[in-house]
């Protein structure tokens, strides 16, 4: 959690510096609302970069696993393969089981 927060604040500070420099050049006072809109756009862009496309349903992992379990019920070898794929690069507590 600390990592993303630090990155977020560093980015915010950098954005603020850039804005200040720009405003100084243009001789304008910086608007707080424009600063926050910059931060908001950065936040939304970075969180949902590739799921804006039409026809894609983005789900929680548990929900995704539950649907896969229902769809391929009885096909244990395939469920095992999907399970392995899902648990490949995740932490222990994030692991899901499709074959229990």
Q: Which stretch binds another protein (CB under 8 A): 1-9, 24-32, 36-44, 88-96?
A: 88-96
Task: Kindly state the number of chain residues that form the binding site for another protein, as judged by CB under 8 A.
Answer: 26
Contact 39, 12 (CB under 8 A): yes
If one asks whether residue 1 binds another protein (CB under 8 A), the answer comes out as no
Residue 40: CB minimum distance to another protein, A: 20
Q: From CA 45, how far away is CA 22, in angstroms rounded? A: 22
Burial of 19 (0-12, 13-18, 19+ CB in 10 A): middle
Contact residues toward another protein (CB under 8 A) are: 50-51, 53-61, 64, 67-68, 71-72, 77-78, 80-82, 85-86, 88-90
């Amino acid at each position: 959690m600390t990592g993303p927060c630090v990155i977020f604040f560093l980015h915010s500070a950098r954005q603020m510096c850039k804005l200040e420099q720009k405003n100084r050049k243009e001789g304008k006072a910086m608007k707080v609302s424009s600063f926050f809109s910059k931060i908001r756009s950065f936040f939304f862009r970075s969180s949902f970069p590739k799921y804006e496309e039409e026809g894609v349903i983005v789900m929680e992992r548990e929900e995704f696993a539950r649907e896969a379990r229902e769809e391929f019920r009885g096909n244990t070898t395939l469920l095992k393969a999907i399970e392995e794929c899902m648990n490949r690069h995740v932490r222990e507590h994030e692991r899901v089981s499709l074959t229990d």
